[in-house]
Amino acid sequence: MIDGVVLTPLRRIADDRGAVMHMLRVDSPVFQQFGEIYFSSVHPGKIKAWHYHHRMSLNYAVPVGRINFVLFDPRPHSLTHGQVQEIALGDDDYALVSVPPGLWTGFQCVGGETALVANCATLAHDPSEGERKDHDDPSIPYVWRERP
| Residues at the interface with a second copy (CB under 8 A) | 16-27, 34-43, 46-48, 63-64, 109, 114, 116, 118, 120, 124-125
We find the least distance from the C-beta atom of residue 5 to a second copy, in angstroms, to be: 20
Residue 101 amino acid letter: P
- Residue among 72 and 107 whose Cβ is closer to a second copy: 107
The continuous run of DSSP H or E covering 47 comes out as strand 47-53
Q: Which is nearer to a second copy, 48 or 75 (CB)?
A: 48
| Cα–Cα distance, 87 to 89 (Å, whole number) | 6
CB hemisphere CA count around 72 (13 angstroms)? 20
Report the residue number, 55 or 81, with the smaller CB distance to a second copy: 55
CB of 147 to a second copy, least distance (A): 10
